[in-house]
Amino acid sequence: MEKLFLVGFVVAGIILGTQANEYLDFNVTEIDRIEELEFGFSKYSSNLNPLMVGLTLIRGADSGAVCLDGTLPGYHLHRGHGSGANSWLIQLEGGGWCNNIRTCVYRKKTRRGSSNYMEKQLQFTGILSDKAQENPDFFNWNRVKLRYCDGASFSGDGQNQAAQLQFRGERIWRAGIDDLKAKGMRYAKQALLSGCSAGGLAAILRCDEFRNMFPGSTKVKCLSDAGLFLDTADVSGGRTIRNLYNGVVELQSVKNNLPRICTNHLDPTSCFFPQNLISQMKTPLFIVNAAYDTWQIQSSIAPTSADPSGFWHDCRLNHGKCTPAQLRFLQAFRDQMLRVVRGFSMSRQNGLFINSCFAHCQTERQDTWFADDSPVIRKKAVAIAVGDWYFDRAEVKLVDCPYPCDKSCHNLVFR
């Protein structure tokens, strides 16, 4: 029987313009709202006593590694032990993007743009848990959450002096990695770069670079959770997410920090889409993604800007209220996702877990990562699938049957 999680939210519409040409502002704020789930998910966890890990600020301001407002970036580190003492897991935080001055200025007053607003302690659950019964393969590794405060998936390098904005995501990434290497990561025998949502995109963008930071003898792989954002049309035939990404890439000077394997033949905005990167990557990559990703449904496929009549309103919040025609549209989105990963999945080194759920980010939530009733494909939970792939216990290419056949989903319903 499928599980439904009811998630309440309030859209901060008062800070936004209402003209149609400002729809991208609304879209970005929706990202922030949905990304709140990364932290809210823990209330569904079976973990009644989660590990709390303190914030460490990165003293790298002399290199220009600063958040949007100029404050120091940071991370949360919980040390490994025993057999995991020389193994490192780096989790890149998600949290949407900002694609224009207005949305980036807004982010400066949140934890997504300033360490002044970041939680001083974070719960480590799911893939970050320190308990073997909750995280069987990585519980005793050095586990890190690198905080996200630039708005361009750790990839920008520019500034806007008039608005007092620093677009330094790439420098934050480098400063964080350098700080962790100084704390022992340079001696890693095993490493896994992971991330959720905008952090899942960043894990793809930075994967081969991360591999090159270690000796050839170090086992290095990457994991992208809910980062497979598709370059797809919305319900009106528009290109909401392409327009969003184009704004991010241009505003934050992302072009020079994108993988050359892509920019040598495609435009920079196209190279911000994982579908144009994943089949060319050299480093082993595992993709975890819901076939009916709730963020993409709400903010890319059927945003309010593309649905002025409100025809999609109920469906975008609750899949149980979708009409047959709307479900066919969503099935076509799933079909596109499967086409995108077809070539990628043919490589033995890569892994895949595409479940037919209405979800977004499943590796940091305990209930979806590894619990008694976790989502499964062929009786395999996400945690076991990722572990089998990372440690070469099995080749893992798991693709679910189409909705509504999977009764193990923890589907999200919004109100």
Q: What's the confidence (pLDDT) of residue 362?
A: 98
Q: What's the confidence (pLDDT) of residue 413?
A: 95
Q: Where are the beta strands (DSSP E) in 190-305?
A: 190-196, 219-225, 285-290
Q: Can you give the pTM of this predicted structure?
A: 0.93
Give the 3-state secondary structure of residue 387: helix
Does residue 282 carry a pLDDT above 80?
yes
When pLDDT is cut at 50, 70 and 90, the band that residue 415 belongs to is confident
Q: What is the residue-averaged pLDDT of the chain?
A: 91
Does residue 33 carry a pLDDT above 60?
no
Q: What fold characterizes domain 50-399?
A: Rossmann fold (3.40.50)
Catalytic machinery residues: 197, 293, 360
* Gap between the Cα atoms of 228 and 249, Å rounded: 17
Q: What's the confidence (pLDDT) of residue 49?
A: 86
Residues constituting the chain: 415
If you ran DSSP here, which 8-state letter would residue 392 be given?
A: T
The answer to whether 323 and 347 have CB atoms below 8 angstroms apart is no
Q: What's the confidence (pLDDT) of residue 47?
A: 56
H or E, element range at 3: strand 3-7
CB contact set of 269 (below 8 Å; sequence gap of 6+): 242, 245, 246, 249
Least confident of 27-36, 172-181, 214-223, 311-320: 27-36
Mean pLDDT of 214-231: 98
Does residue 400 carry a pLDDT above 80?
yes
* Gap between the Cα atoms of 115 and 101, Å rounded: 19
Mean pLDDT of 139-158: 98
* Gap between the Cα atoms of 167 and 159, Å rounded: 5
* Gap between the Cα atoms of 188 and 87, Å rounded: 5
Q: Where are the beta strands (DSSP E) in 15-73?
A: 51-57
Least confident of 8-12, 200-204, 213-217, 299-303: 8-12
When pLDDT is cut at 50, 70 and 90, the band that residue 41 belongs to is very low
**Model confidence over 64-81: pLDDT tens digits?**
999 999 999 999 999 999
Question: Is the dihedral angle over the CA atoms 62, 66, 68, 70 positive or is it negative?
Answer: negative
The answer to whether 206 and 265 have CB atoms below 8 angstroms apart is no
- Side-chain half-sphere of 39: how many Cα atoms within 13 Å? 16
Mean pLDDT of 35-40: 44
The residue ranges of every structural domain in the chain are 50-399
* Gap between the Cα atoms of 187 and 169, Å rounded: 25
The answer to whether 293 and 360 have CB atoms below 8 angstroms apart is yes
Q: What's the confidence (pLDDT) of residue 274?
A: 98
Query: For tokens 């308990």, what's the residue?
Result: 131
Q: Where are the beta strands (DSSP E) in 103-232?
A: 121-124, 142-146, 158-160, 165-167, 190-196, 219-225
**Model confidence over 336-374: pLDDT tens digits?**
999 999 999 999 999 999 999 999 999 999 999 999 999
The answer to whether 253 and 156 have CB atoms below 8 angstroms apart is yes
* Gap between the Cα atoms of 246 and 83, Å rounded: 44
Mean pLDDT of 154-178: 97
